[in-house]
Structure 1
Amino acid sequence: MGKIRHYAYSVLLVLLISCAGREEPADRVLYIREMGDLATTEYTVTKIVKANDNKTWYKPGDRKILISVEAVLKSGIDLTSVKKEDIKIDGKNISLRLPPPKLISINIPPEKIKVEFEEIGIFRTGFDNAERDALLAQAEQQIRNSINEIGILRTTENNTRQFLTRFLQQSGFEQISISFDKDSPAKQNLR
């Protein structure tokens, strides 16, 4: 469904650009802002979280749990922040500066959360929903903290560059240069 919407936006933008004959070329290219968050990369990541509280001296018995979580990460570029000064056009040559890639969403489907191991001592109670939710929040935070190591933002730059190069070629440009703001993805606040 996302790919169909993605292509529909592309066709719409090509039509808008081709119909806008009196506008400056940079103004026509600014129609890419209508795409909003352009998600170009999707990763599936598995994270294992574990917990135990057998170190409490006044509670006899062990209590351990191991949960695996499969998360779908989507990253892309916020095209709404592209400004006219980010576009330089000279005939059939275009230079486009884009904002740095960002993590758009983390989706953890409930069916992809599995308790792999659980051990509860005879005198102990199981892990309640609040404790399990805290473990899932921990898993999500660990995934957010590791996105630079995963390489999803670098892949997003490459995918965005390929997509927009094809898009701009269809709009009539021959020499296309796409760069990204040097706001390092590692320094971004990832929501």
Structure 2
Amino acid sequence: MKKIKNFISLTIIGLLLVGVSFFLGMNKMKSDLQPEISSSLISNKILSAKELITIKYQYTNMGQFENQSYFYGWKVPFTRKRFIVTYDGTINAGVDLENLDIKIDGKNINIKVPKSKILAHEIDEKSIKVFDEENSIFNPIKIDDYKDFSKDQKEKMEKDAIKKGLLKEADEKTKATIEDLLNTYELLKDFKITVTN
């Protein structure tokens, strides 16, 4: 009878040890399967949403080009050329996400993103309408006139967009998007995420 009790006790202890070992092994395997939180893991997660972190500023503008030949400060007659153009354009502003500075300190993740800049600026060629074109046989309108005009107009519109707060808005959107993106990532649910410029 005593032998049977000892056998049952040893069996129960053995089963408990097997159960505890199994449980600990499963927890270890589960933690081994979870990727380590590193700056490259976070960086890759952010880079996957690169297109989201861009602001598109669309506009319609009208501009005037005028040119006349001068001779010693005097306007040369019949050399005036000019045109008025309307067109639509799109300015894309955002952040170069390749230059993120990510620091992990315990359960705190600090991400410093560069300041926003203009990434692209396109004028829709189909939207261009030319009005009031005045040409001169002595000073004809050339393709370079249109190219120079387009370049000047782009610079003017970019300055105007920046003055209206385009880059500040892009900075705020970038920070909010990165925070929202990382807060939905299950592995980071216990971390405090701070994004700054």
CA drift at 1:179 = 0.3
Does the 8 Å contact 2:39/2:103 carry over to 1?
A: yes
Q: How does 1:90-101 map to 2 (within 5 A)?
A: 90-91=106-107, 93-101=108-116
- Secondary structure of the structure 1 residue equivalent to 2:62: strand
CA drift at 1:111 = 0.8
Q: How does 1:40-79 map to 2 (within 5 A)?
A: 40-54=54-68, 56=70, 57-60=75-78, 62-79=80-97
Q: Distance in 1 between matches of 2:173 and 2:48?
A: 15
Q: Which residue of 1 aligns with 2:153?
A: 139
Identity of aligned residues (%): 14
CA drift at 1:44 = 0.7
CA drift at 1:36 = 8.5
- Give unmatched runs, 5+ long, in structure 1: 1-18, 181-191
- Give unmatched runs, 5+ long, in structure 2: 1-31
- Secondary structure of the structure 1 residue equivalent to 2:43: helix
Q: Which residue of 1 aligns with 2:172?
A: 158
CA drift at 1:95 = 2.1
Pick closer, same or farther for the CA change 1:55–1:22 going to 2, 3 Å. closer
Q: How does 1:20-35 map to 2 (within 5 A)?
A: 21-32=34-45, 34-35=47-48
CA drift at 1:164 = 1.0
Residue identity opposite 1:109 in structure 2: D
Does the 8 Å contact 2:85/2:128 carry over to 1?
A: yes
Residue identity opposite 1:157 in structure 2: D
Pick closer, same or farther for the CA change 1:37–1:166 going to 2, 3 Å. closer
CA drift at 1:114 = 1.9
- Secondary structure of the structure 2 residue equivalent to 1:111: strand
Structure 1 stretches of 4+ with a deviation exceeding 6 A read none
Does the 8 Å contact 1:75/1:102 carry over to 2?
A: yes
Pick closer, same or farther for the CA change 1:146–1:37 going to 2, 3 Å. farther
Does the 8 Å contact 2:55/2:93 carry over to 1?
A: yes
Number of residue pairs matched by the alignment: 158
CA drift at 1:55 = 6.4
The yes-or-no answer on 1:88 pairing with 2:104 is yes
List per-residue Cα deviations over 1:165-188 (Å, max 9, x = no partner). 1111111346332100xxxxxxxx
Does the 8 Å contact 2:68/2:139 carry over to 1?
A: no
| TM-score, length of structure 2 as denominator length | 0.66
Q: Which residue of 2 aligns with 1:148?
A: 162
Q: Distance in 1 between matches of 2:96 and 2:150?
A: 28
Q: Which residue of 2 aligns with 1:177?
A: 194
- The answer to which of 65-74 and 140-149 deviates more is 140-149
- Secondary structure of the structure 2 residue equivalent to 1:163: helix
Larger radius of gyration: 2
| TM-score, length of structure 1 as denominator length | 0.68
Q: How does 1:3-18 map to 2 (within 5 A)?
A: none
